[in-house]
Amino acid sequence: MEMKNRIGKALKDLFSRLNEAYNKGLDISDYSGQYLKRYISNSSYFISFYSQVLEKCLKSVNKPVGESVFVDYGGGCGILSLAARLLDFKTVIYNDFNEKSLIDAQTISKQTGISVDHFICGDAGAFVDKVNELKIHPDVICSVDVIEHIYDLDSWLKFISKLDNFNLIIVTGANSQNPLIKQKLKKKHIISEYHGCERNVRIDDTFFSTSFLEEREKIIRRKYLDLSEDEIKKLASESRGLRQEDVENMVNRYLGSGITEYHPDHPTNTCDPYTGSWAERLIDFRKLKETIENNGMEFEITNSFYCYSDDKLLNTIKKALNLLIKISGPECLFLSPNVTIGIRK
């Protein structure tokens, strides 16, 4: 109970500061601003959500918080970094592969008066190199709604496994074991792949609403002038789930052999061909467990509870669902709104 109270107090303080800073005006990108507005407008829900996340992080640490290093991996606006500082972690590290997100997080940190020790820009390889350069040993690495977007998960895990003695807490809403969530995400995949939607495709910091399939056709059409239109459409369709470099590699192999050897690992998963960011990829947890253990790490997967908001009627329904989740046990994912993947080395 003491831990929950500490987390609750820290998050209420954080969201109060975020609200004040936002109302005064923040010089941040529209992208980060939209996320921050969403957090503030639904503060009750996100306080409930981050309380669960941080409780799992604190429970994973085997020494006092004041002696521990916290990493916010794929941090976006930096919510977890700021919360970790208010919880008195010894060292707090923010990481994101997007430089503008990192700059925005620095601005939010400054305007809220909550310091973060290190801001690291880059993917897993750059992150691991930097913490090794700084001679810092992370105790807990927390990543929220990131794993379902990582293009090459196997390579990512190999980079992370180079660190020593850490706990990695991954929280994802892409729960492939919950049939309602699975169906919802499949629909999202189909829209992204065939129809496109707002901010569907990203090139640098420019967003387009075209479909992933259409963009792969453009990639092939621009480079391979001798291909027929039928071949372009066929190759674009069969390269679903590949980013530009790998699309071109597949086409090169096709030109040499007349066949395509690539086969998507899931019937609907698809990604932005320029960034490689998956449209909330449905992950095969059994395969993920095998990959993690093959890289010398321990794996644990548990469910999460529904988060409460200001909607009293909805909260009543959530309480009933949470009771069923509690009765079902931590490894039952059928009803869970989120999945927590615990990785230990």
Determine the residue type at 55: E
Number of domains comprising the chain: 2
Do 158 and 293 belong to one domain?
yes
Would 252 be classed as within a structural domain?
yes
- State which of 222, 257, 292 marks the end of a domain: 257
The set of residues, in sequence order, having a beta carbon less than 8 Å from that of 7 and lying 6+ positions away, is 50, 51, 54, 55, 58, 83, 87
Do 57 and 126 belong to one domain?
yes
Would 102 be classed as within a structural domain?
yes
pLDDT above 80 (res 165): yes
Do 172 and 186 belong to one domain?
no
Would 277 be classed as within a structural domain?
no
- The H or E element containing residue 302 is strand 298-303
Output the average pLDDT for the chain: 95
Do 67 and 201 belong to one domain?
no
- For the stretch 226-235, contacts whose Cβ atoms lie closer than 8 Å and that sit 24 or more positions apart, written own/partner, are 227/251, 235/260
pLDDT in tens, 228-251: 999 999 999 999 999 999 999 999
Q: The whole model's pTM is what?
A: 0.93
pLDDT above 80 (res 205): no
pLDDT-derived band of residue 206, with 50, 70 and 90 as boundaries? confident
Contact yes or no for 176/268 (Cβ under 8 A): no
Query: What is the average per-residue pLDDT within 78-107?
Result: 97
Do 22 and 148 belong to one domain?
yes
Do 172 and 306 belong to one domain?
yes
Query: What is the average per-residue pLDDT within 4-23?
Result: 96
In terms of residue numbers, what domain contains 228? 179-257
Contact yes or no for 93/70 (Cβ under 8 A): yes
101, with CB counted inside 10 A (0-12, 13-18, 19+), is buried
pLDDT above 80 (res 121): yes
pLDDT in tens, 248-277: 999 999 999 988 888 888 899 999 999 999
Phi, psi of 38 (to 5 degrees): -65, -40
Q: CA geometry: angle at 80 spanning 77 and 86, to 5°?
A: 115
Q: What is the pLDDT of residue 313?
A: 94
Do 154 and 85 belong to one domain?
yes
Phi, psi of 202 (to 5 degrees): -125, 125
CATH number for the domain including 168? Answer: 3.40.50.150
Query: What is the average per-residue pLDDT within 51-77?
Result: 96
Would 265 be classed as within a structural domain?
no
- The H or E element containing residue 13 is helix 2-24
Q: What is the pLDDT of residue 190?
A: 97
